[in-house]
Structure 1
Amino acid sequence: MPYEPTATLSGHTDSVRVLRFSPHGNYLASGGDDGLILVFSTDTWRMVAKIVNVSPVTALLWHSAFPKTIMCGFHSGAVVTICLDSGDRDVAGRKIWTDTFNGPIKCVTSHPFGKTFAIAHGGDVTLLDQTTISTWENLRKLPDPPEFSRNLPSPSVRATHFTRNDRIIVCYLDHGIVCWDLATLGVLWRIRPRTCNIGYSAISPDEKHLAVSNLFDGLDWYSFTEHKLSHSVPCPINLQNNVPIPVRFGADGGIIIVGGSSGNVRILDSMTAETMQTLSHDGDFIQALDYYTAEDVSTIATGVSELGTKTTVKIWKSVEEAVPQEFPPPGSREVPPPGSREVPPPGSRKVETKHRSYLQVVIPILTVLLATVYHLSVTGSQVALQEKFGARLSAWRGGESGPEVA
């Protein structure tokens, strides 16, 4: 299903770092290096909220339990929960909860079935449970990941992914992919990456694969069942501006969207890794993207980098491919195969029904009229005959000879 550009959103004055659709797709939030958090309504793509901060925005998460509530992470290490005010454009938002962690916030994620959140900051992952919109408890931190060699630098977290079986997958820049048990905080398994320097990652909807962008040559697929590399796909990388490339799976896992530093966003078939479509961005860096689908319409949001006041967010929507129709040559008539029934065109049944109802009323009336005319004609003939023979009978009775009439 191809995608076409439908809207261009402005408002940022520096690179877009993160894009997130709300759980029901009503809003799109964007965060940038300018410290701005912009919220757009997806019905009209009008900006409905603008939140100004002093630190670059590095993480956004829409709260699944509280409407119009966003958890925001910043390069300063601050994490803020903001409840948006509806209707007004330039509102600061109401800050419900805030805390500061050690190191820049890399990402904020939540468990799909519970109230456990993970905040990745610097080289650490802190887990915490939410009791109300403004209170948290049971803060605990994951241990340092195991090392593949003694020469590795300090851990640096790139991404976290919760799974439905109470595990959390953590991707580290140099320490590979580690699966932790949420109950014991112990390591269940780990995967040594094909290349060093993991960028961004995305977990498949069935939680069996992880797509990872590396800072070397492209995209790697890892199997959670076999705990090893599945396959790799080369992606154009600008080595002079080697930046992390965002990746995102489609809703059903059939496609994966990949950003890049070469000016294009690629849509790949997740099974064959074949490029299905390329979304051109005129050579600009794409370091932020997100995906949402509803009612058979999919939407992709992409944000550009390094353009200053010309920074924009582009919206792409899926369109149905036109199915070519074959028409018979003029004067020809297609003969249906034996035993088949010809399907009438749309609306013909209504016309046929109207004609049938009309005939059901007119035919009886015509029948009565014809019978009446026939009766009158027959009756008139009989009267004429009676008058004619009656005159002759009178004449015969007057003495004229003639045949006897019985």
Structure 2
Amino acid sequence: MEYRLKWSHEGHRGPINCAAFMDDGSHIASGSKSVGISYWYTLTQTGDNGHVIICLTWDPRHMYRLFVGCSDGAPAICENSETQESTSSILTGTKAPVFTLTVDEYSGYVAIALGSEIHVAKEVAYKYATFKIFPPPSELPLMAEQPDKRIRGRALAFRERGTELVVAYLNHGMVCWDIGSLEQRWQINPIHSHQITASGHTTLSSDKKHIALTNLGDGVDIYSLGWSHPDMRLKHPPLSEQKNIPVQVSWLRDGAAVVSGSSDGDVHIWEIPSGEPIQLLEHEGTLTYLVCGSCF
């Protein structure tokens, strides 16, 4: 399968912070500081607002419902992005930047990386509110050598019908939490000396068995859940140390391929499980740090 440019949009006046496909691939939502949220369908921009958007995700159980995380606090819910219905907030009791969030298709739970905390919220009486807050993750073996010890959740994924939550942290590797007991099932310690899981650039495969992450070094690593040594390393080093900027990675075709941005502006696609590069999508520019894929 070869990927070709289908259409492009120019609605944002500044850098785009996040983007996500609706499950059926019919819409893309994108978020930035300059425009807020934009909803795209084929060649039409269907809406926007004026907030500084860090992250967003579609609700797999409700068409056109979008969960949004802002830099200035509480996560919001756009109930119907198509008709521009008013938004509501998730009650968390915490005022902090929302770095990432996700929704479980079975339980309807919403996981939120909120400042230094990881919350799980559920719907009660037509409102969403936090009902679980996870404890701090265990420190990694080389943690004492790291100048940055902040607890920051950067990617979230539910497993086992909403009973487990996998969290990729900025400085604490990847942890699988039991939502019922709030205990750690396992923790992945990345093999790189910096032990950093890049900012928002980790993603779980559609079968929930593998994790892809950009390693702030030489490309993308593929891990099996619970194992601290990668099954596969997809090499694409940055152009220079000055351009060693975290870029996003995403799965394609139900885990048959991985796509990643790069510091040279191109988008790279590798075949899985062979790890062979299969396509290079060229872009004009010096950096492509945000990509999103869809398995529709």
Pairwise same-fold verdict (TM > 0.5): yes
Matched-pair contact (CA < 8 Å) for 1:16–1:287: no
SS at match of 2:171: coil
TM-score w.r.t. the length of structure 1 is 0.66
Deviations 1:316-355 (A, max 9, x none): xxxxxxxxxxxxxxxxxxxxxxxxxxxxxxxxxxxxxxxx
Matched with 1:206 is: 207
How far is the alpha carbon of 1:49 from its aligned partner?
1.3
Q: Percent identity?
A: 25
Matched-pair contact (CA < 8 Å) for 2:222–2:230: yes
Matched with 2:180 is: 183
The alignment status of 1:6 with 2:12, answered yes or no, reads no
Matched with 1:94 is: 86
**For 2:160 and 2:71, how far apart are their aligned partners in 1?**
29
Matched with 2:225 is: 224
Identify the match of residue 74 of structure 2 among 75, 78, 83: 78
The alignment status of 1:118 with 2:119, answered yes or no, reads no
The alignment status of 1:143 with 2:132, answered yes or no, reads no
- Of structures 1 and 2, the larger Rg is shown by 1
**For 1:258 and 1:127, how far apart are their aligned partners in 2?**
29
Q: Within 5 Å, which residues of 2 pair with 1:13-24?
A: 13-24=13-24
**For 2:256 and 2:209, how far apart are their aligned partners in 1?**
13
Q: Which shows bigger deviation, 225-234 or 17-26? A: 225-234
Deviations 1:106-132 (A, max 9, x none): 111112311211000222211111235
Residue-pair matches, total: 285
Deviations 1:71-103 (A, max 9, x none): 11011223111133646xxx6x41133557443
SS at match of 1:252: helix
Q: Where does structure 2 lack aligned partners over 5 or more consecutive residues?
A: none
**For 2:183 and 2:106, how far apart are their aligned partners in 1?**
21
Q: Measured at CA, do residues 172 and 85 of structure 1 come closer, stay the same or move farther in structure 2, by a change above 3 Å?
A: closer
**For 1:109 and 1:218, how far apart are their aligned partners in 2?**
25
How far is the alpha carbon of 1:31 from its aligned partner?
0.6
Deviations 1:212-245 (A, max 9, x none): 1122221111112645322322223243133321
Instruction: State the one-letter code of the partner of 1:230.
Output: D
Matched-pair contact (CA < 8 Å) for 1:205–1:251: no
Q: Measured at CA, do residues 99 and 286 of structure 1 come closer, stay the same or move farther in structure 2, by a change above 3 Å?
A: farther
TM-score w.r.t. the length of structure 2 is 0.89
**For 2:295 and 2:119, how far apart are their aligned partners in 1?**
31
Identify the match of residue 250 of structure 2 among 241, 248, 251: 248
How far is the alpha carbon of 1:62 from its aligned partner?
1.2
Deviations 1:44-90 (A, max 9, x none): x211112222xx21111112233322111011223111133646xxx
**For 2:250 and 2:295, how far apart are their aligned partners in 1?**
13
Which structure has more helix as a fraction of its residues?
1
Q: Where does structure 1 lack aligned partners over 5 or more consecutive residues?
A: 295-406
Tell me which of the two structures has the higher relative contact order, counting C-alpha pairs closer than 8 angstroms and 6 or more residues apart.
Answer: 1
**For 2:115 and 2:236, how far apart are their aligned partners in 1?**
27
**For 1:115 and 1:35, how far apart are their aligned partners in 2?**
29
**For 2:130 and 2:116, how far apart are their aligned partners in 1?**
20
Matched-pair contact (CA < 8 Å) for 1:81–1:98: yes
**For 1:33 and 1:242, how far apart are their aligned partners in 2?**
23
How far is the alpha carbon of 1:278 from its aligned partner?
0.5
Matched with 2:45 is: 47
**For 1:33 and 1:142, how far apart are their aligned partners in 2?**
29
Q: Measured at CA, do residues 226 and 78 of structure 1 come closer, stay the same or move farther in structure 2, by a change above 3 Å?
A: closer
